[in-house]
Amino acid sequence: MTGKARVRFAPSPTGSLHIGGAHTALFNWLYARRNGGSFILRIEDTDMERSTKEYEQSILDGMRWMGLDWDEGPDKGGDFGPYRQSERMDLYRKYAKQLLDEGKAYEKDGAVFFKVVPGKELRFRDEVYGNLDFKSENASVNHDGTIKDIVIMKRDGMPTYNYAVVIDDYTMGINMVIRGEDHIINTPKQLLIYDALGFEAPGFAHLPMILGKDKKKLSKRQGATSVFEYNDMGYLPDGVFNFLALLGWSPKNGQEIFSREEAVEMFDISAVTRKAAVLDMDKLNHINQEQMKIMDPMKLLAVIRPFWIEMGFDLSGLSDEYLASALHTMGGRGQTTKQLAEYSDYFVTFDVVKARYDASEIKEETRAVVKKFYNALLSECAEWKADKMEEFTKEWIAANDSSMKEVCLPLRWALTGRKVSPGVFEVAEQLGRDECRRRLEYYDLV
């Protein structure tokens, strides 16, 4: 590869951005950013029947959601436009004519066929798969093994993928093609066309296949789903980015949790593996949780808020500071934003607590003890801070022949309506003394 790196992501707008596409886009982006090059977005919309503007928009939105910005593209322009294949018909016609004029192609039944000449060695070095050799007579074959000339322009006047991709990659100055390994088989066909037109071929790097946990090709359920569905399931863009970057690659230092900037810093295309990568949702959950832990609290709040609203909560009376601090109090619980929104619901509204808990299990003698304690805590604990409350509690139970369990269990239930929560005094501190009193009063515990 010579000159500044120019790579491209070339999706067909026949569906939303799914995990496989996002993975390819991400590796192109990493390569461009790592090498100070350009990342180009080209829309391959020659399948007129299946391509839609809505899918194109959804792909662009999906890339933005992932934090993958591009330097040239249909929405941005650039020196090598247009960036939609449907707008580049002149180029496809021009080079088809050249091939026809030079006797390298012929017309039949209204289509243009590229003549595959046998006896040519086709070699290329793949950054991932190493040196690959093919013979031209094997590049495109019929079922019986005989050579099959390559259709470059179809009867309807549209170019085929293997032809348009060559014209575009060449005329757009692409010097490194990074795409899924399912395209290795197409590369010899493309090399024949580069050669016939006298174009210098780009470098190639094919990415390993992504398999479902069952080791089978990704099904619709397993990742062929749009990246937005990952958002709805509670995954952060940072989490999905981190997870996808680790499919087929890992940093030399073994670091597992990283930011985009760190990934750019560490990325090395030659360290990409050939082995198929398995889409492991447990790993995604783990990475997502770690990314939530290191996220800026206000940014985390921004992604949690829609989930709370969807759960029907009214957030109008609660400050951003209070809500962000409540999330912080959760101490890294929850693997997805959706889970975190659910687990922390009692900080947003007491209604959910009331719906879950009725305090009917508290025996009369226990009630008398805890009432005494909660009254003391509310009125005598000088500072409403977790460590101070804990200290106060320890002294009180020692003096009153009670136990942590006896006084804290009903307190946790009354404040959260849950069996499991962060430390009960942390929860109490976050809710504030008045709100704690209100909740305890409701349960007749003060």
Q: Which residues bind ligand GLU (CB under 6 A)?
A: 10-12, 44, 165, 179, 183
The residue to which tokens 């798969």 are assigned:
129
Q: Which is nearer to ligand GLU, 10 or 66 (CB)?
A: 10
Told to judge if 220 belongs to the known catalytic residues of this protein, a careful annotator would answer: yes
Q: How far is the CB of 273 from ligand GLU (least distance, A)?
A: 20
Helix (H) or strand (E) holding 6: strand 6-9
Q: How far apart are the C-alpha atoms of 84 and 339, rounded to whole Å?
A: 40
Q: How far is the CB of 219 from ligand GLU (least distance, A)?
A: 18
Q: How far is the CB of 292 from ligand GLU (least distance, A)?
A: 32
Q: Which of 128, 169, 136 is nearest to 44 (CA)?
A: 169
Q: How far apart are the C-alpha atoms of 114 and 104, rounded to whole Å?
A: 6
Q: Which of 336, 119, 317, 402 is nearest to 410 (CA)?
A: 402
152: Cα separation from own chain's centroid: 35
Q: How far apart are the C-alpha atoms of 165 and 127, rounded to whole Å?
A: 19
Catalytic-role residue among 215, 216, 220, 275: 220
Q: Which is nearer to ligand GLU, 17 or 370 (CB)?
A: 17
Q: Which is nearer to ligand GLU, 12 or 58 (CB)?
A: 12
Q: How far is the CB of 72 from ligand GLU (least distance, A)?
A: 16
Q: Which is nearer to ligand GLU, 10 or 19 (CB)?
A: 10
DSSP class of residue 18? B
| Number of helices and strands in the chain (H, E) | 20, 11
Q: Which is nearer to ligand GLU, 23 or 437 (CB)?
A: 23
**C-alpha dihedral over 262, 267, 273, 274, to 10 degrees?**
130
- Count how many Cα atoms sit within 13 Å of the Cα of residue 125 in the half-sphere of its side chain: 4
Q: Which is nearer to ligand GLU, 81 or 180 (CB)?
A: 180
Q: How far is the CB of 12 from ligand GLU (least distance, A)?
A: 4
- Beta bridge partners, 47, equal none
User: Do the Cβ atoms of 191 and 198 come closer than 8 Å?
Assistant: no
The strand pair at 277-278 and 210-211 is best described as parallel
What token pair was written down for 170? 């060449």
Q: How far is the CB of 179 from ligand GLU (least distance, A)?
A: 4
**Residues labelled catalytic:** 220
